[in-house]
Structures are given as C-alpha cells and as structure tokens.
Chain A
Amino acid sequence: MKREISFNVNSQQMKLEVESHLRLIDLIRDQLGLTGTKEGCGEGECGACTVIVDGKAVNACLYPALELEGRTLITIEGLLEEENKPSVIQKAFIDNGAVQCGFCSPGMIMSTKALLDKNNDPSDEEIRIALLGNLCRCTGYVQIVESVKAAASQIRRKS
C-alpha cells in the first residue's frame, strides 16, 4: 500500500508516494537517488546509514520511511556548503586523515554533526559515545576522533 508523505530533505520540501513497509534508507538511496548514505548491515549495527531526522542521528535502515511525514531529513549530500565546499566537519575529516575506504565516512560525519550541533565542546568520552554506533574497519578511529575534536574547535572559533 502506498501513502503520500511530505518532508524536508536537505532544505528542499518534498512530496512523495512511498510503500508502507519502505525503509528510510531505500527512500533515500533509491527514490531520492542520494547514494551518499551507505547501507553497511541493514540491521542498525554499523551506522553507515546514519542520517539526521529532526536533529537526531538515526539509522536509516531501521527507520520506516512513513515516519518522515512532516519531519526534516539531512543526509550527507545536505552538508556541502555553497559552491561545492565541504562543511567544517567534512573538511576536518579530510585534513586529519579520518578517511580510508570511506564507506563509513558519511555515517560517521552525520553522527558527528548530530553531536556538534548540540554540543560544540564535547569531551573525549562524549565523542566516543556519539560514535559508538558507527563501525570503521580501516582507521582504528584515532584520526576520526581527532577530526571531531578539530571540527568542534573550528565551530567554536566561528561561533
């Protein structure tokens, strides 16, 4: 059964028909064509599909698409600033070597954004709690945590 939902995605108002059982990840990747969000496990265990709904980081593989009605969705594509510029967090990930294979990076960055939007001066422990649901097999997380700290300090300087 299909239902129409309206929502905001990356600052664009959107109206779409979706199947009632559709997962948010499928809506994002297949219907919206936003393939920056990755599916790593489909079971909410790896965090590769992390997106932000109404300010909260969620696993798009567990989130029903219908739940998006009236809400605001941000995906990795929504982070780029004007004229193709990476956002502060993306820039910090680039500059601090947080990226290797890159498959976890979009999800990792979305979890970071959800954290820093609320708290621009997180402790080491707060960072680790925020990233606990995001698995990475390449980096050992060291340069990722450094990147989050660098991004936080950039954001504090700007604010």
Chain B
Amino acid sequence: MSKLNYIGKTIPRPDSGDKVAGKALYIQDLSRPGMLYGKIKFSEHAHAKILHIDITKAQKLPGVMAVVTAYNTPEMRFGFLRDNFILKKDKVRQFRDEVAAVAAISQEIAEEAIRLIDVEYEPLPGIFSPLEACQENAILIHELDPQGKPVKDNKVPVLFQHSSGDIEAGKKAAKHIVSGSFSTQWIQQSCMGTAGAIAEFDMNNNLTIWTKTQVPFLAQRDFIGFLPCLGLKDKNVRVIVPTLGGAFGTGLDTHAYEYISILLAYKTGKPVKIVYDRNEEFACLSPRQSSQTKITQGCDENGMLTFREIHVIQDNGAYTSWGATFPSVMLLPATSLYRVPNIKFHADIYYTNNTYCQAMRGYGNPEVNWALETNMDELAEIAGIDPYEFRMINCNKSNETTPMGLKVTTCALDKCMESVATKLDWKHSRNQQGKYRGVGMASLFHVGGGGRIYKSDGTGMFLKLDDFGNVYVSHGGVEMGQGLHSVLKLGVAEALGVKPEKVFINQVDTNTCPWDVGTHASRGSFMAGNVTIKAANDLRNKLFEQAKNLFPSLADKNLKAFCKKNPSYEAPKFDVREAALKGNFDLVEGYLFIKDAPKEPWLLVELGTLLRAIHFREQGTMLSAHAFYDPPNELPDWNKGYGNMSASYAVGAQGAEVEVDTETGEVKILRMVAVHDVGKVLNPQTLKGQMYGALAQGLGYTLYEQILTKEGKILNPDFRDYKIPTVKEMDFPIDLEFVETNDSAGPWGAKGVGESGLCPTAPAISNAIYNAIGVRVRDLPITPEKILAALQEKQKQQSE
C-alpha cells in the first residue's frame, strides 16, 4: 500500500467546528416561511375501541388550520409489514397510537387544540407479554392481516431460523451441557436531539421533507408510495437530512409523525413541522425490543463446543418495524461466534399491546450475545476450564466459513482476547477472594463489511470538481454523530490526492445525492470508503487523460515563471510532451505530476490550474465522477439462516473489573478494557469516540436503563426516571486497543465497527460480577435490587 497522507491520522472531524459554535442546524432549528406547527393526539389506552372522536372544539380554536383523524381522511397504511395506520380508526392497539392531529400557527395553539379533542373509548382487555400473546385462545391484536385476511394468532409473520449439523449428535458428543434463560429490557435510544420533520409541498404537489432519518432513500420510496393515499399520483418526494442529534437506529423506519406532517402540509398548503418533546420521544417513539433467550450449549472433555441451541422470543409491540428483523443479526453470534459444529436457532416474535419497537445500535446482537457469552462462562465453569482458556479453545480464525456460510476473511479474535486477558492481569485478577472484586470477559462477532438485509446493500457517490481544485462530495450516507464526514473528507482527500480542506460534503438530499440503502449495520465508513476509492479512481483517470495533452503547456508556463524568478536556473533535460502522453501521472495534495519526472517545482501543476485549462477553452469540459459500490456479500436465505451477509466481519473482546458492595448491591466498574479487530484505523480520534460511546451505551444497557411499563403504559418517560450514564457513571479507566488486520474487502483495510463496542459489554460485566460475588443476574439491567435478591437466594441455598 502506498504511503497514506490522511487515513490513519488523528485529524479533528470536519463537522465539529459548526457544532461547538452552535451553527449546526438540527430539525429543531429549521423553519420555513409560513410554517405551521403540528401536534399529535395519542391514545390513552393500550387496547380499546374508538367509539367517537369529537374535533369540533379544536377546529373552532383560532389559529388552528387543520384537524385530521382517520374519520376525515382516507385509510393510510405504513410500516415494515404495512400493519400500521397513520391515524387509527375503530381501535387503538397501544398507548401511543395516533388518533388525531392538528396544524396550527403556533406550538401553543397546537397543544391547546390537542387538549380540546375528545375521544371516547371502550377499553378492551390487553396483552402485555409475548407469553400471553402466544396462548392458544389469546385475544387478537390484529384481526386482519394487511391484505385483509383473518389472522389466527398474534405471531408476527416473519421467519428467522437456522439449523446446521446434527444437534442430537452434538448432545451425545457433549460431556458438559448448560442451559440458561436470559432476558433483556426495552431501552430508549435516547438521542439528545428528539425526532421531527418538516413537510412542504410545491405548487406541482411534489413534496420536500426535512426529516431525521438514517434511510433517506428508503424513506423517499415510502413517502412516494404514500402520496397516492392523498390522491397524488406520479409525484416526487425530496428528502433532505438536517444535522442529526443522534439516531442509534431510530431513523431506520419511517414514522407516523412524518406521514402526519405530510398529510397536514397537503391539507393546509403550508409547511408543517412536527418535533417530539422529550416525553413524546420516550413514550411515543419506538424503543429497542425486549427479548427472552433460551440457550443450551455443550462441550466435550477438551472444552470443544459440540452444539448450541438458541430460542429467542421478541416482544414486537402493536406494529412492526424493521426491528422485527433483529433475528437476522442475532444469527451472527448465534451461528458464528466461536466454532460450533451443530447449531439450532429459532426466533418467534409476537404482537402485544405494548409500545411497538424498532432498531437500535447492535440490532439483536447484544441481546443474543448477552445470553451466549454468559452461558459460555457457565459452561466453562462446569467443564472446569478457565473461561478465557475455554474461549480460546473455541476461537474463530481467519479464512474460515462459519455454519451460517459467513466467509470470515480476517479475524484477530484470539489476539483480542489475549490482549484483554493480559491487560486485566487475568489469572491474578480472577482470584481476588474476599474482596468482592472480579474480572470477566466477553467477545463479539458482528458484520463489518456492510450487512445485506435488503435486496441492495449498495451506495453511490458523485464527485464534482470545480475550477478551483475543490471537490464536492454527494453521498447518501448519513452523518448522525458517528464521524462519517470525517471518513468522507479524509477518504476523498486520500483517494483523489487533494488536501482535506478542498473537500466539501453536500447535505444528504435525495435530489442531488446518489442512492444509499441507509446508514445502519456499521456500514457507513466501510461503504463510504469503498465507494470513495472507486469514484476517486475514476476521477483521477479522467484527469490524467486530459493531462496527457494539457500538462506540457501548463508545465511550460510554470517553467517560464520559475526561470523569471531564478534567472540562473537550468532545467534538466526532460521531454515533458513525450512523458505526458504516456499518462503516467499522480495527484498528491492537489498537485499533478509525472511519476518518473525529475523532482522540479515547475513540473508540479496545481489541480485548479489544470481544471481551468480543461474547462475554459473551445470545446472544453468539466470533470466529475459517479460510482456505485455494492459489496461482495449475499442476501441470506432467512428460512435457512444461511448466506454470507457481510463482506467482512468485526470481532473483538471486552473485559471488566468490578467491585460489588454486597450490602447495597451496587456494582462499581473499576476499569474496562476493549480490544477490537477494526481492520484498519481510519481516524484514531473518531474511532475511539465510537468505542467509548458504544461502551457507555453498553454500560447503560447492563446496569441502569429500562423502560418501565404498566399494562402498556410507559411509566418513566423522562431523564429523571430513565437513567442513561452520566459523566459520574463513566468515571473509570477504559483501556482501548485496536488490532489491525487489513481486511481485503475494506477501504484501506478497514472494517465497520459502529456497533461492535456495545455487543459484548453486558456479558463482560456480568461475568465479572459473577467472579466477584458468585451470583448471576439473568435479566438486564443488573440492578442493585436484583443483585441483593440473588445474594439472598445464594445464602438460602447454602444454608439448606
């Protein structure tokens, strides 16, 4: 690989200047002339018949421009399975169901109008857990499927399963077998910037929507599909993505509030803005799924895993989002973390009257990894093998194909685990008897080279050069805080051969940016990097082709100017014309030169000068390049759970040292170590930021965060009662290390690692807690109450 000028260096990200100055514009900061404020009336029941909606008082309130319900608008469906309705008719199925909405000239009037809407309900009995939902005579959440056919049960019609090898043979071959049941809670993505959109129609009834999305092009498709509900045929939608105040999966689906803003904008002919407040964000935006996982694993006398059986039950809530496809990613750890010859995986997802769920960072991986990596520790204990050694015995290696058909190109899992053990001083730290201190570790296996869960896993890029040597980048990937723009800016500078300050990134806008499937699955940097290299190479070739004829005269001009300044200068003998015709150019930091030419300053032509020569002449032209990159991976057959869904795989290990107060049940994290195979570090600063941040989210998931509900109602819709880690909880050393495996599929060798950092955090901490005090809590979060209860249980068992 040639010398890298920018990739791999610590360079501050390009968007931070505007962000620290308060100049970055989030959806909260945008407004349009004549804009109205939209507000939604949500259901007050988890499951009820709607008997009557009275909107007359709201309609009469001065300043109210429109009031919509399902009774004065056509039926409008949306969602991953089209089982959701933009406004609800006849019945509500969850507390946050949208029953009416208003548009008014101010936020205050919109809020007042909402209060004036009376809805009469007839409450219905509800179902609040998948275990109730799957009972034979359970009441139905949805009586009809989206095609209008009667349904028989509350099962969400998606299928994810896997079966490989021979489970019975694996059981026979096992000397030790351990089973366990684990659960995870609903958690809120807790973006600091809440959700929102502004919709506006032009006089041709084409729509522009500024919205907080991670999938601008799938959103465009959804909205284009929606417009016919309003009687608008063959109309276009332009999606513009403002600066995002975090996303973490909340932007993978289109949401009712977006459709409602569109509906209100169409009704009123004015731009309509809907932004959720914090309570709405907690209570009315979909959280991460809760899950229950049953796992059984066995190993032989040497500690080799002989089989693994996993069954997951997910609470879908009342409607279906992309989040229902979590099991597609659960399959990764389930089939491919450690070498297991015989595997069975199955997931069942049930409708309930709880809030419907959606994606969050990690997308099913942390849920299953929590069960898997805890079970690994338990199995190791029964087999009498140190849990670190046990993992090493079963460790994945480079160039292997896993039972799911995942082609692991590079894999430094052994190195990662070894480094975690070394950093934790493993052998010594495992035996801190009497101190209530312990260490634990866990690994991860995740997509690192895109993740094909859709027909296309592709992304496009458009590079435009101007007359000054500036490069404009149009790319559909979304910067949501993770540092994509850093990769784009440095990547384009590196691959094209210009200085980063000459690279300008256009706002994501479906009118101007080429298609991208979405910023998810840790794919942003991987995809952006690969498409950048492709587009930049194309642009370089175009430049070099033009330079064959134009370079000599530009070099001549340079030489004349140089000789004027340096009269005694004698140019070396070099036939520029002949050399240029061979086209053997390079472009570095904005200067074009012939590779084998003498190193003379006049033989460097500034890019802007060349571009002007290309443009401003008779029959001139301007240069740009377009590229589309679709990674070498496959859309798995979900029925079989088989297919190489990613072009490379990210692995890593984390370890924790904890101290537990057995009086209060408080867990104190003394330190954490995280060692990740990232392929190649693109920018150490932004990469560290991703890992620290993911780890903090993993910590919140493990110890603090939980959406509490009572019969479907969310009880803690604010930061007072829903606790995300503060700077106080994050007060422990984190030892980060990145292992570079230079993966052949990755841009400059890099893998995607946006989600990796939170996948092993929960089991690493819980294994450390077990090492410290000898008890296990199997449902997240591991609260002090649960620890005390587990300690009491242990004492009871010991005294019996």
Contacts and interface: CB of A to CB of B under 8 A. Distances in A.
Interface string B717-737: 011100011111011001000
B22 interface: yes
A97 B688 contact: yes
A10 to B, nearest CB: 11
Interface stretch (B12-20, B176-184, B338-346, B774-782): B12-20
Interface stretch (A1-9, A29-37, A63-71, A115-123): A29-37
Nearest to A142: B692
A45 B716 CA distance: 13
Which residue, of A79, A103, A105, has the highest number of chain B Cβ atoms within 10 A? A103
Interface string A128-159: 10011011111111111100000000000000
A128 B731 contact: yes
A144 B458 CA distance: 35
Contact of B734 (A97, A102, A136, A142): A142
B190 interface: yes
A86 to B, nearest CB: 6
B278 interface: yes
A35 B25 contact: yes
A132 B727 contact: yes
Contacts of B193: 38, 40, 101, 103
Interface in B232-278: 243-248, 277-278
A78 B248 CA distance: 31
Contacts of B359: none
Interface string A7-46: 0000000000000000000000000001111111111011
Contact of B727 (A103, A138, A141): A141
A94 B13 CA distance: 7
Given A90-B21, A103-B26, A135-B719, A48 B192 contact: yes
A84 to B, nearest CB: 8
B763 to A, nearest CB: 19
A80 B21 contact: yes
A114 interface: no
A73 interface: no
Contacts, number: 168
Interface stretch (B42-50, B164-172, B480-488, B490-498): B480-488
A109 interface: yes
A94 B191 contact: no
A40 B728 contact: no
Interface string A75-106: 11101100000100010011111111111111
Contacts of A137: 189-192, 246, 248, 693, 697, 724
Contact of A141 (B12, B688, B730): B730
Contacts of B481: 100-102, 138
A98 B26 CA distance: 18
Contacts of B26: 38, 103
Interface string B666-709: 00000000000000000001101100111111000000000000
Given A139-B693, A139-B696, A140-B730, A101 B245 contact: yes
B596 interface: no
B570 interface: no
A interface secondary structure, majority: loop
B29 interface: yes
Nearest to B697: A137
A140 B695 contact: yes
A18 B190 CA distance: 32
Given A134-B727, A142-B734, A94 B192 contact: no
Nearest to B722: A45
A41 B22 contact: no
Contacts of A34: 22
B21 A99 contact: no
B246 A138 contact: yes
Contact of A105 (B20, B277, B692, B693): B20
B20 A145 contact: no
A145 B731 CA distance: 10
A112 to B, nearest CB: 11
Contact of A140 (B245, B248, B693): B693
Given A97-B686, A101-B192, A102-B24, A135 B278 contact: no
A59 B24 CA distance: 20
Contact of B22 (A40, A77, A98): A77
Interface in A45-74: 45-46, 48
Given A45-B720, A131-B727, A132-B728, A103 B13 contact: no
Nearest to A36: B22
A127 to B, nearest CB: 8
A132 B686 CA distance: 23
Interface in B20-35: 20-26, 28-29
A104 B727 CA distance: 13
Given A103-B245, A140-B693, A36 B23 contact: yes
Given A34-B22, A38-B28, A94-B16, A45 B718 contact: yes
Which residue, of A102, A105, A137, has the highest number of chain B Cβ atoms within 10 A? A102
A140 B20 CA distance: 17
A97 B278 contact: no
A138 B16 CA distance: 13
B726 A135 contact: yes
Given A42-B277, A101-B192, A137-B192, A94 B719 contact: no
A36 B725 CA distance: 24
A38 B727 CA distance: 19
Contacts of A139: 689, 692-693, 696
Given A43-B720, A103-B193, A109 B29 contact: no
A26 B723 CA distance: 26
A136 B16 contact: no
A135 B692 contact: no
Given A101-B193, A131-B727, A132-B728, A41 B21 contact: no
A97 B192 contact: no
B246 A103 contact: yes
Contact of A104 (B192, B480, B696): B192
A41 B282 CA distance: 10
A124 B247 CA distance: 30
B194 to A, nearest CB: 8
Given A40-B192, A143-B689, A101 B22 contact: no
B16 A99 contact: yes
A97 B12 contact: yes
B33 to A, nearest CB: 15
A97 B720 contact: no
Contacts of A76: 20-22
Given A100-B482, A101-B193, A132-B727, A106 B20 contact: yes
B413 to A, nearest CB: 23
Contacts of A100: 246, 481-483, 689, 693
A97 B17 CA distance: 11
Which residue, of B482, B483, B692, has the highest number of chain A Cβ atoms within 10 A? B692
B31 to A, nearest CB: 9
A144 B480 CA distance: 18
A42 B278 contact: yes
B727 A144 contact: yes
B70 to A, nearest CB: 30
B28 A86 contact: no
A97 B685 contact: yes
Contact of A136 (B19, B23, B192): B192
A145 to B, nearest CB: 7
A124 to B, nearest CB: 8
Interface string B185-201: 00001111110000000
Contacts of A93: 16, 20
Given A42-B278, A103-B192, A141-B726, 7 more contacts: A43-B720, A101-B246, A102-B243, A102-B481, A127-B727, A141-B730, A143-B688
23 contacts: A38-B245, A42-B277, A76-B21, A93-B16, A95-B12, A98-B16, A99-B15, A99-B19, A99-B20, A100-B483, A101-B244, A102-B20, A102-B245, A103-B192, A105-B20, A106-B20, A127-B727, A136-B192, A137-B697, A141-B726, A142-B688, A143-B689, A143-B692
